[in-house]
């Protein structure tokens, strides 16, 4: 629903324990991978975010039977009835991740028809690495208008060298290669934790896949893949959001399921800010006790295991109220700083050096105002800033928040955050008081 707003009031230090949901970036591609099989698969730990609902509809449109059990967070997908390889244009426009069905459809039907994808507006986000390497594997692609028709009758093997370790291209090529005769090697592959979760799933299906250091994935094609059961890896980005919400408000949190093994650089940055971070046994679970005087840290995003681009905006929000100066460089996307203007509106001191680099000087106080979320992770940054801003922050563009997170605002609320999802977009000071009560620190 596009006509909602998030109201965020200055909140006390967050305190408590929170459960995580499965990773959006793993579940979307794993749902797409089920097209490779014929039969009933069961996925658990599935977040019910709007992107997940979109892929459910996409699979249903292709003919699959899809059922979600909200109490169990379990998704059952029967892919036997899939009989179409043409993806509804509206679906593709709604979500860039729809491109991830192209490899599986080609593997199953030898053809696929898709439209050029939509999604978050964070840079030009081309799909050339997907398409160019499909062609290298023997796929013919005809582009007419914004429709791509792809078909393959004979595969050519197969050393695929990625110019950049693209997550989506790695996943798409790997899924097609699972059923292509011979061995495919993807050199300079992305090895994000979500890619590794997909590899786990494909192996359960019966695929022959090996990861070879430093960053090669070798796939030996098999004739057939079988349905699976799988619990989706916990979301390191939701964990990051909860840790930062606790850090920025000066609280304490325990995340027993946090995949610390996939969060090293980020957790180290939190420690360098002065927060106390403890990791559980086997690198799972994180406890954070926030310092009241966080120090600014600089960081630069990059492919895993470097600092994740999806935590750049949220981490920037934390730097806005830290002591000192932080240099932040975004190297993964060329236009992922749209949150900067909104943070500036709240009183943040952020100087843009160029499209991919900013310098943040921490301020004593941010101030609540009306802000617009431009993408999923920008919405997270604005939420975090809102938690410490004086007064009330009114965030629109909330559909981005809902695309990426499964009711995270409710988890934050349980931890003590003053957050409310409301219908409508225009609120007066009076309304905000009604939402939060007169005791809240509304001073507009
Ligand atoms: C995935 C994640 C997204 C995350 C990103 C990087 C999902 C659903 N989304 O997106 O949350 O921010 O990884 O970790 O898993 N590129 C090209 N040509 C291509 C493909 C990508 O130039 O064909 C460029 C992109 O424009 C971008 C960079 O490569 O600058 C990384 O993109 P990529 O790793 O492909 O991200 P996604 O798979 O789209």
DSSP character at residue 273:
T
Q: Best mutation site among 26, 30, 166 for ligand 1, i.e. most ligand atoms within 8 A of its Cβ? A: 166
Q: Indicate the pTM of the whole model.
A: 0.95
For residues 191 and 268, membership in a common domain is answered with no
Residue 441 counted as domain residue: no
Residue 270 counted as domain residue: yes
Q: Which two tokens mark 328?
A: 């932040």
For residues 255 and 389, membership in a common domain is answered with yes
Q: Which two tokens mark 41?
A: 């698969």
For residues 58 and 115, membership in a common domain is answered with yes
pLDDT at 121: 45
49 lines ligand 1 (CB under 6 A): no
168 lines ligand 1 (CB under 6 A): yes
Q: Best mutation site among 167, 241, 307, 312 for ligand 1, i.e. most ligand atoms within 8 A of its Cβ? A: 167
The total of structural domains in the chain comes to 2
**Which H or E element spans position 288?**
strand 286-289
What atom of ligand 1 comes closest to residue 190's alpha carbon? 34
Residue 12 counted as domain residue: yes
For residues 12 and 145, membership in a common domain is answered with no
For residues 239 and 112, membership in a common domain is answered with no
Can you give the pLDDT of all 444 residues of the chain as single tens digits?
Answer: 568 999 999 999 999 999 999 999 999 999 999 999 999 999 999 999 999 999 999 999 999 999 999 999 999 999 999 999 999 888 887 787 889 999 999 999 999 999 876 544 444 568 999 999 999 999 999 988 888 999 999 998 689 999 999 999 999 999 999 999 999 999 999 999 999 999 999 999 999 999 999 999 999 999 999 999 999 999 999 999 999 999 999 999 999 999 999 999 999 999 999 999 999 999 999 999 999 999 999 999 999 999 999 999 999 999 999 999 999 999 999 889 999 999 999 999 999 999 899 999 999 999 999 999 999 999 999 999 999 999 999 999 999 999 999 999 999 999 999 999 998 877 766 666 656 654 444 333
For residues 12 and 36, membership in a common domain is answered with no
For residues 177 and 277, membership in a common domain is answered with no
- Of 203, 231, 259, the residue at which a domain comes to its end is 231
Tell me which residue range forms the domain holding 78: 24-231
On whether the CB atoms of residues 412 and 382 are closer than 8 A, the answer is no
For residue 177, the domain's CATH number is: 3.65.10.10
Measured distance between the N- and C-terminal CA atoms of the chain, rounded to whole angstroms: 28
DSSP string of 77-141, one letter each residue: EE-TT----B--HHHHHH-GGGGGGHHHHHHHHSEEEEEPP----SS----HHHHHHHHHTT-EE
For residues 50 and 170, membership in a common domain is answered with yes
Report the relative pairing of strands 140-144 and 147-151 from DSSP bridges.
Answer: antiparallel
pLDDT at 432: 65
Instruction: Specify the residue with its C-alpha closest to ligand 1, atom 12.
Output: 310
pLDDT at 297: 98
Instruction: Specify the residue with its C-alpha closest to ligand 1, atom 22.
Output: 126
For the chain, the 3-state helix, strand and coil shares in percent, each to the nearest 5, are 35, 25, 40
pLDDT at 126: 84
pLDDT at 299: 98
Residue ranges in 321-424 assigned as alpha helix (H): 339-345, 376-388, 398-404, 408-414
- Of 231, 249, 280, the residue at which a domain comes to its end is 231
pLDDT at 118: 54
Phi first, then psi, for residue 303 (nearest 5°) are -60, 155
Q: Which residues, including other chains, have CB under 8 Å from residue 314's CB and lie 6 or more apart?
A: 240, 241, 244, 377, 380, 381, 384
Distance between Cα 168 and ligand 1 center (Å): 6
Beta strands in 200-241 (DSSP E): 208-212, 216-220, 229-231
Residue 189 counted as domain residue: yes
The single residue of 120, 179, 320, 380 carrying the catalytic annotation is 120
For residues 215 and 247, membership in a common domain is answered with no
Distance CA 182, CA 399 (A): 43
Distance between Cα 413 and ligand 1 center (Å): 31
Residue 442 counted as domain residue: no
Q: CA angle, corner 343, sides to 338 and 344, nearest 5? A: 100
For residues 175 and 246, membership in a common domain is answered with no
Distance CA 319, CA 311 (A): 12
Neighbour tally for 159: CB within 10 Å: 11
Residue 444 counted as domain residue: no
Whether residue 320 lies in the annotated active site: no
Distance between Cα 223 and ligand 1 center (Å): 29
126 lines ligand 1 (CB under 6 A): yes
Distance between Cα 433 and ligand 1 center (Å): 41
97 lines ligand 1 (CB under 6 A): yes
119 lines ligand 1 (CB under 6 A): no
- Of 231, 251, 266, the residue at which a domain comes to its end is 231
For residues 119 and 217, membership in a common domain is answered with yes
For residues 50 and 163, membership in a common domain is answered with yes
166 lines ligand 1 (CB under 6 A): yes
Residue ranges in 178-235 assigned as alpha helix (H): 193-205
């Amino acid at each position: 629903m596009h006509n909602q707003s998030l109201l965020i009031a200055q909140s006390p230090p967050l305190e408590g324990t929170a459960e995580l949901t499965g990773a959006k970036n793993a579940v979307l591609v794993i749902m797409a991978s089920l097209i490779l099989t014929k039969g009933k698969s069961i996925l658990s730990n599935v977040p019910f975010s709007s992107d997940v609902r979109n892929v459910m509809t996409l699979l249903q449109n292709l003919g699959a039977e899809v059922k979600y059990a909200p109490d169990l967070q379990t998704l059952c997908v029967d892919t036997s009835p899939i009989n179409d390889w043409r993806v509804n244009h509206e679906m593709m426009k709604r979500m860039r991740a729809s491109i991830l069905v192209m490899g599986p459809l080609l593997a199953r039907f030898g053809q696929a028809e898709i439209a050029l994808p939509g999604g978050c507006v964070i840079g030009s986000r081309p799909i050339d690495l997907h398409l160019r390497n499909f062609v290298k594997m023997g796929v013919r692609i005809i582009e007419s208008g914004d429709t791509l028709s792809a078909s393959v009758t004979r595969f050519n093997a197969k050393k695929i060298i990625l110019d950049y370790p693209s997550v989506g291209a790695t996943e798409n090529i790997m899924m097609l290669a699972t059923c292509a005769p011979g061995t495919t090697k993807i050199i300079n592959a992305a090895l994000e934790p979500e890619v590794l979760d997909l590899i786990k799933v494909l192996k359960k299906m019966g695929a022959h896949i090996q990861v070879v250091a430093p960053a090669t994935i070798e796939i030996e094609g098999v004739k057939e893949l079988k349905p699976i059961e799988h619990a989706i890896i916990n979301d390191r980005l939701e964990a990051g959001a909860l840790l930062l919400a606790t850090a920025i408000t000066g609280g304490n949190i325990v995340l027993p399921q946090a995949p610390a093994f996939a969060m090293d650089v980020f957790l180290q940055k939190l420690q360098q800010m002065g927060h106390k971070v403890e990791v559980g046994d086997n690198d799972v679970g994180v406890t954070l006790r926030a310092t009241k005087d966080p120090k600014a840290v600089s960081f630069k995003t990059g492919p895993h295991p470097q600092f994740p681009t999806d935590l750049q905006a949220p981490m920037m929000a934390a730097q806005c109220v830290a002591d000192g100066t932080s240099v932040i460089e975004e190297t993964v996307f060329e236009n992922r700083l749209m949150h900067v203007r909104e943070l500036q509106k709240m009183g943040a001191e952020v100087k843009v050096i160029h499209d991919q680099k900013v310098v943040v000087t921490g301020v004593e106080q941010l101030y609540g105002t009306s802000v617009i979320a431009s993408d999923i992770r920008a919405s997270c940054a604005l939420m975090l800033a809102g938690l410490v801003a004086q007064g009330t922050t009114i965030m629109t563009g909330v559909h981005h928040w809902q695309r990426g997170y499964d009711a995270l605002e409710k988890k934050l609320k349980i931890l003590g955050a003053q957050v409310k999802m409301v219908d409508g977009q225009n609120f007066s000071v009076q309304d905000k008081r009604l939402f939060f009560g007169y005791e809240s620190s509304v001073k507009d």
